[in-house]
Structure 1
Amino acid sequence: MTASTELTGTAALTRLVLRRDRVRVLVWVMAVPLLVLLTAASVKGLYPTQHDLDVAAEASRDNAAAIAFNGPPLALDTLGGEVAFQVGTIGLVFVALMSTFMTGRNTRGEEEAGRAELIRALPVGRHANATATLLVVTAMNVVVGALVALGLVAMDLPVTGGLAFGLSYCVLGIVFAGLTTAVAQVSENTRVVHGSVGAVLGAAFVLRAAGDIGDGTLSWLSPIGWVQKARPFAGERWWPLFLALAVAALAVTAAHALSDRRDLGAGLVQPRPGPPRAAPGLGRPLGIALRLQRGGLIGWSCAVFLAGIAYGWVAADVEDFLGDNETMQDMVARYGTADLTDSYLAQSLMVVALLGAGFAVQSAARLRAEESALRAEPLLATPVSRTRLMGSHLAVALGGSVVVLTAAGLGAGLAYGATGGGAGQVPRLVGAALAYVPALWLFAGLTTALFGFLPRAMAVAWAVLGACFVIGLLGEVLGLPSWVTGASPFEHIPHLPAAPHPGVSAPVLLTAVAAALTVAGLAGFRRRDVG
């Protein structure tokens, strides 16, 4: 088979991917640059003078936790260097996830769903679908990199630094698109593909963190470390980006070679056969829901636990880090206390609670995925009511929200306690994190209501959560009016441990609204058609 024959139909499949995933593409390519640019605006607001930048740079250079979480401390006494430090690593992680999910969905996901086999019955080449997916994902990364670079230049940051920063995002996304394409040839299961590439991303983050804290050697073993070696705003170097692109090209070449050695729909590694008899719990809807969602629950819990550790580790030095910053002093007044450390912890716990709300939305929406994959109807054909089936997934969403917030508070408490706060910080910060349970339940209720009445519009829940992120992280810096900030349920939760007089009326009201949305969603699901 010639190369041209193997790519027959690539153009048509590219248009198909763009048509089918146009909403996902638009959300990703807008969300990542928006994250970077809003953070850049926040940094400009937090450090308006050179003195503020110098104080922040001095506090960050020797802070191992900040370096591990944010990246190499390069040119921190400049606005561009501070922006790269604050948003560089987290933005790169989002770009890698974008490429992983989009590539896995349109390669292994299409084969697992059986659609790839139907398409291959047409005059379509063996590598056409993977190539079309790579073209779309590469274009997405180019657009993300261009928007990031143009946005930073528009904020009067150096052109060369902005270009290097944008290119680092683009190149890392292409690397993970190539890696996902290669891994998709190995396993038959999309979740295994995403989990495997996610493990690579986690290892890349850890190696980069260890290298940046040390002498930088280990960072060369990490794709994240490669693109950060481009040193945006700190004396740019371009050759590490070419190294990363070479690895991406090798991954794509390996993917094509592996694809030639397997059957369509199969993987190079055969799935392990399951036990001859199912576990007793799988005979009940709740057991099935727990089995389906345990991976997500563990993943989200670990993520917020690590985020809690990162924030808690910095808490002991926060007064030295931000004590002379007038903008941060104004943010302290927002919580009604003069204790800068408690205010920092309150803000940090709100951020990890916003992250935890992602689990609540994803978990409550899991039944929609089961319905779309036609796995819900066979269950409903048994003596299982719609209310019981949906209630089992809701139980995981509501109970899992408590677990996720507990993990966040535990991580912050352990880290802050180990750096001088004392053992009493663990129960104190766990309790402060659990104060956000009503807010997470509200998002679970909103997702349930959308599932019951407008299942095609469930992305609205993610859009609302994104708006809450902007309000919570940048509302004060951007000077948003009170009626806008008041739209976020997280703003009505007592900001512990800083709130001097935490009330219970707002959390009770949020819980009541969550319950009403949940009941409405259950009623809607009982009355609409399945599928």
Structure 2
Amino acid sequence: MTAVALAPATPTVARGGGRLTRTGALLRLALRRDRVRIPVTVIILVLMVASTLAAIQSAYPTVVERQQLAATVGSNTAFLALLGPALHPESVGAMATWRIGAFLALVVGIIGALATVRHTRREEEAGRLELVGSLRVGRLAPLTAGLLAALVMVGVASFGVALPLVGQGALGALAFAFQNLVSGLAGVGIAAVTVQLASVARTASSIAVSVLVGTYALRAAADVQDSLSWLSWLSPMGWGQKIDPYGDDRLGLVLLGVAVLALGAGVGYRIQATRDLGAGLIADRPGPADAPGLRSVQALAWRLQGQTLVTWAVPVAAYLLLVGFLLSSVGDIAGDSPQVQQIIEQLGGAGAMQDVFVVTIMGFIALAAGAFVVASLSRLHSEETAGRAELILGRSVPRTTYLLVNVLVVAAGTVVLLVVGGLAMGVGNGIAAGDWGYTGKVLGAALVQLPAVLVVVGFMTALYGWVPRLVVLGWALVVWSLVVGQLGALLDLPSWLQDLSPFSHTPAYPLDAVAPGPLVVLVAIGVALVVVGVVGFRRRDVVA
């Protein structure tokens, strides 16, 4: 275990030096563990901003076209709730930050919260902080190092995403960095409290993310209803919006995020200094000792993966429900831009814009389903390294059964995720436009993504079956698919490179007809990879 490097030269366990002793060593350890996670996260976010900027420059190159876009979309209630008001259409940078700013600020806030939980409560839950605490380490050093590591990730992400916008104006780019930073600081401060409330990392993460999503909803309500505009002052996303990149550039509002961070850290330190290791303010509720509902591998797999599925399905459903409200108004995005109108005509007329929107959104949801697969099947490696897999396999459970049951549960979870997302989007459109007949097309657009997601399932199974420590490469496949989908054509990548992404082979339904051939091939590849993984798992040693 890496933490052993913190041991003093002598066998003494006296603390000495105060409550923050060895904070620097713990911080270096945390940053070392994030040495891949941080750059990968930043690259993904930078690519999203770069693609948004390129789309605005291509589709709305003139001030008049951007003004028309702001006038049409700016009067739409659903777009106001999702994106906020478009205040400065004369600036390409302002329109790019408007299109992605509210969503990206929420993402950075969640990144900060999850990083805080990962380096504090998750380490405590796994028992590693107990080992570290037995060495010459101050009582508050682990929490301090965790907060600092999360702040490093938030800072790098916030300023990294501003790089594509520097060409539009350095001050505006800095204001955009601060827009994301204010929510990231707030996310770290909120998580500093939730890791003290909950004794389980998943619960601490869920509470923190729920609070951040709630503040996003407050910002949306403030933008939609003028009489509720004061609600934006209760939301980190609202504070970031008021910074107004490429407009007023109110950089000082970032201090509100600093205040939340200071308050949250203060509360966290106060509780951390007095509570027992492993405990939380929310009391544990252990189940019955005999666990009658967990007497099979299937039941245990559903119990472990079901909570993860709910964590992913709820925000996906909420997001697609809101997107469904936008479908009937998606034509307003085009405005009078001749470039966009020409694209729509090439695609098949005015009605095609709605189909293009569905295809685009479902492409992102498919990537989310792929990320769910990676997160869920990576848990198998965690269960194995923690010794729990060995206990299960020692009770006359065949290896093939153990692996296949978990894989099938995750595959079923992806079906649930896609169906719930498709239905939520269809319901939103049905309520807003009264067009319930389009729900079938939306659901079909979600389900045609399933074969590509099954390839991710197979890829992860093969990695776990043969070299479990390499399951992290599953994230590389998801990230590469995102890059190909967003920037493949823009970067003029060779077709064979783009074809490495399974999501490149899914049909663009309902824009295009569904050709069964590619879908069958994707399913066959996924099944073949699962078989390869099962063979590897049967042959290798189980890590104790």
Work out which of the residue numbers 484, 504, 507 in structure 1 matches 2:516: 504
Work out which of the residue numbers 206, 209, 215 in structure 1 matches 2:217: 206
Amino acid at match of 1:313: F
Contact 2:68 2:335 in 1 (8 A): no
Amino acid at match of 1:319: G
Instruction: Tell me the equivalent position of 1:526.
Output: 538
Closer, same or farther in 2 for the Cα pair 1:3/1:310, shift >3 Å? farther
Instruction: Tell me the equivalent position of 2:150.
Output: 137
Instruction: Tell me the equivalent position of 1:389.
Output: 402
Contact 1:363 1:393 in 2 (8 A): no
Closer, same or farther in 2 for the Cα pair 1:326/1:111, shift >3 Å? same
Deviation track 1:304-332 (CA, whole Å, cap 9, x = no partner) reads: 22232233222212223216445545655
Deviation track 1:94-146 (CA, whole Å, cap 9, x = no partner) reads: 21222122211111111111111111112211111111122222222222233
SS of the residue corresponding to residue 165 of structure 1 reads helix
SS of the residue corresponding to residue 382 of structure 1 reads coil
Work out which of the residue numbers 308, 312, 317 in structure 1 matches 2:320: 308
Closer, same or farther in 2 for the Cα pair 1:262/1:451, shift >3 Å? same
Instruction: Tell me the equivalent position of 1:185.
Output: 196
Deviation track 1:402-437 (CA, whole Å, cap 9, x = no partner) reads: 111111211221122223251112223212211111
Amino acid at match of 1:261: T
Amino acid at match of 1:14: L
Q: What's the TM-score once normalised by structure 2's chain length?
A: 0.91
In the alignment, the residues of structure 2 paired with residue 82 and residue 440 of structure 1 have an alpha-carbon distance, to the nearest angstrom, of: 33
Give the deviation of 1:485 after TM superposition.
Answer: 3.4
1:226-245 to 2 correspondences below 5 Å? 226-245=239-258
Contact 2:81 2:223 in 1 (8 A): yes
SS of the residue corresponding to residue 365 of structure 1 reads helix
Q: What's the TM-score once normalised by structure 1's chain length?
A: 0.93
Amino acid at match of 1:374: G
Instruction: Tell me the equivalent position of 1:436.
Output: 449
Give the deviation of 1:243 after TM superposition.
Answer: 1.8
In the alignment, structure 1 segments of 5+ residues that lack a partner are: none
Amino acid at match of 2:98: F
Instruction: Tell me the equivalent position of 2:303.
Output: 291
Contact 1:70 1:86 in 2 (8 A): yes
In the alignment, the residues of structure 1 paired with residue 371 and residue 347 of structure 2 have an alpha-carbon distance, to the nearest angstrom, of: 25
In the alignment, the residues of structure 2 paired with residue 225 and residue 453 of structure 1 have an alpha-carbon distance, to the nearest angstrom, of: 48
Contact 1:312 1:412 in 2 (8 A): yes
Instruction: Tell me the equivalent position of 2:161.
Output: 148
Amino acid at match of 2:326: V
Closer, same or farther in 2 for the Cα pair 1:323/1:54, shift >3 Å? closer
In the alignment, the residues of structure 2 paired with residue 162 and residue 13 of structure 1 have an alpha-carbon distance, to the nearest angstrom, of: 33
Work out which of the residue numbers 177, 180, 195 in structure 1 matches 2:206: 195
Give percent identity, aligned residues only.
Answer: 37
Contact 2:330 2:353 in 1 (8 A): yes
Deviation track 1:339-394 (CA, whole Å, cap 9, x = no partner) reads: 22222222222222222222222223321221122221111111111111111211
Q: Relative to structure 2, which stretch is displaced further, 188-197 or 212-221?
A: 212-221
In the alignment, the residues of structure 2 paired with residue 72 and residue 372 of structure 1 have an alpha-carbon distance, to the nearest angstrom, of: 49
Give the deviation of 1:446 after TM superposition.
Answer: 0.9
SS of the residue corresponding to residue 419 of structure 2 reads helix
Aligned length, in residue pairs: 527
Deviation track 1:158-207 (CA, whole Å, cap 9, x = no partner) reads: 22211111022223222211221222122211111111111111211211
Deviation track 1:204-225 (CA, whole Å, cap 9, x = no partner) reads: 1211111121222212221221
In the alignment, the residues of structure 1 paired with residue 476 and residue 347 of structure 2 have an alpha-carbon distance, to the nearest angstrom, of: 27
Instruction: Tell me the equivalent position of 1:371.
Output: 384
Instruction: Tell me the equivalent position of 1:158.
Output: 169
Q: Does 2:317 match 1:317?
A: no
Q: Does 2:507 match 1:494?
A: yes
In the alignment, the residues of structure 1 paired with residue 277 and residue 130 of structure 2 have an alpha-carbon distance, to the nearest angstrom, of: 7
Contact 2:15 2:138 in 1 (8 A): no
Amino acid at match of 2:185: I
SS of the residue corresponding to residue 211 of structure 1 reads helix
Q: Relative to structure 2, which stretch is displaced further, 45-54 or 444-453?
A: 45-54
In the alignment, structure 2 segments of 5+ residues that lack a partner are: 1-13
